[in-house]
Structure 1
Amino acid sequence: MSTSTFVPPNFTKVHIEDCLKRVRTIFGGVFIVDTRKAKLVQVLYHLWEHKFYPQYYFPSSELPSKFLDEKSKQVLSEGPIKYDIVVGVKRAAEAVTVYGDSNGDLAGLFKIGFASMDMWYEEDEQVFVHPKDPYKRVDVLQSSRHIRVEVHGVEVANTHKPRLLFETGLPVRTYIPPTDCKLELLVPSNLHTSCPYKGVANYYHVQTAPDKTAENVVWWYQNPNLECAAINGFLAFYDERVDVWVDGEKQLRPKTHFA
Structure 2
Amino acid sequence: MTTTSQRFHQATLLLSSAYPPQRSTYQIIMAPPFTDAHIEPARPRIRVLFGGKFVIDTSQAKLVWEHPYYPYYYFPAEALSTSYLRPAEGPPIVDGEKATFDLVVGDRVAKAAVTKFASGDVKDLVKIEWSAADAWFEEEDQVWVHPRDPYKRVDVRQSSKHIVVKVDDVEVANTHQPRLLFETGLRTRTYIPKTDCRLDLLQPSQLTTECPRLPSTGVANYYSIHLPNGDELAKDAVWWYRSPLPECATIQGYVAFYDEKVDVWVDGVKQPK
| 2:69 paired with 1:52 | yes
Asked if the contact 1:27–1:87 (Cα under 8 Å) also holds between the matched residues in 2, the reply is: yes
| 2:55 paired with 1:36 | no
> Per residue, is there more helix in 1 or in 2?
2
Q: What does residue range 141-160 of structure 1 map to in structure 2 within 5 Å?
A: 141-160=157-176
1:66 match: secondary structure: helix
| 2:123 paired with 1:107 | yes
| 2:94 paired with 1:95 | no
Deviations along 1:193-233, one digit per CA (max 9) or x if unpaired, are: 12312111111111124223422111111211111111010
| 2:214 paired with 1:198 | no
Asked if the contact 1:24–1:120 (Cα under 8 Å) also holds between the matched residues in 2, the reply is: yes
How has the CA–CA distance of structure 1 residues 239 and 12 changed in structure 2, closer, same or farther, with 3 Å as cutoff? closer
Aligned counterpart in structure 1 of residue 40 of structure 2, from 8, 14, 17 = 17
How has the CA–CA distance of structure 1 residues 8 and 216 changed in structure 2, closer, same or farther, with 3 Å as cutoff? closer
Aligned counterpart in structure 1 of residue 98 of structure 2, from 38, 59, 80 = 80
Q: What does residue range 209-248 of structure 1 map to in structure 2 within 5 Å?
A: 209-248=229-268
Structure 1 gap ranges (5+): 1-6, 42-47, 254-259
Q: Kindly state the Cα deviation for residue 10 of structure 1 after the two structures are TM-superposed.
A: 4.3
Asked if the contact 1:204–1:219 (Cα under 8 Å) also holds between the matched residues in 2, the reply is: yes
| 2:183 paired with 1:186 | no
Q: Distance in 1 between matches of 2:60 and 2:265?
A: 48
Structure 2 gap ranges (5+): 1-29
How has the CA–CA distance of structure 1 residues 10 and 172 changed in structure 2, closer, same or farther, with 3 Å as cutoff? closer
Overall identity of the aligned pairs, in %: 55
> Per residue, is there more strand in 1 or in 2?
1
1:189 match: secondary structure: strand
Runs (4 or more) in structure 1 with deviation over 4 Å come to 7-14
How has the CA–CA distance of structure 1 residues 10 and 159 changed in structure 2, closer, same or farther, with 3 Å as cutoff? closer
Deviations along 1:165-206, one digit per CA (max 9) or x if unpaired, are: 001122110000111111111111121112312111111111
Deviations along 1:104-150, one digit per CA (max 9) or x if unpaired, are: 21112111111221211111221111111111100000111110001
2:92 match: secondary structure: strand
Amino acid at match of 2:109: R
- Scaled by the length of structure 1, the TM-score of the pair is 0.86
Asked if the contact 1:143–1:161 (Cα under 8 Å) also holds between the matched residues in 2, the reply is: yes
Deviations along 1:29-71, one digit per CA (max 9) or x if unpaired, are: 2211111111112xxxxxx203311010111220221110146
What's the C-alpha RMSD, in Å, of the aligned pairs?
Answer: 1.9
Aligned counterpart in structure 1 of residue 83 of structure 2, from 32, 51, 66 = 66
- Scaled by the length of structure 2, the TM-score of the pair is 0.82
Match of 1:26 in 2: 49
Amino acid at match of 2:115: T
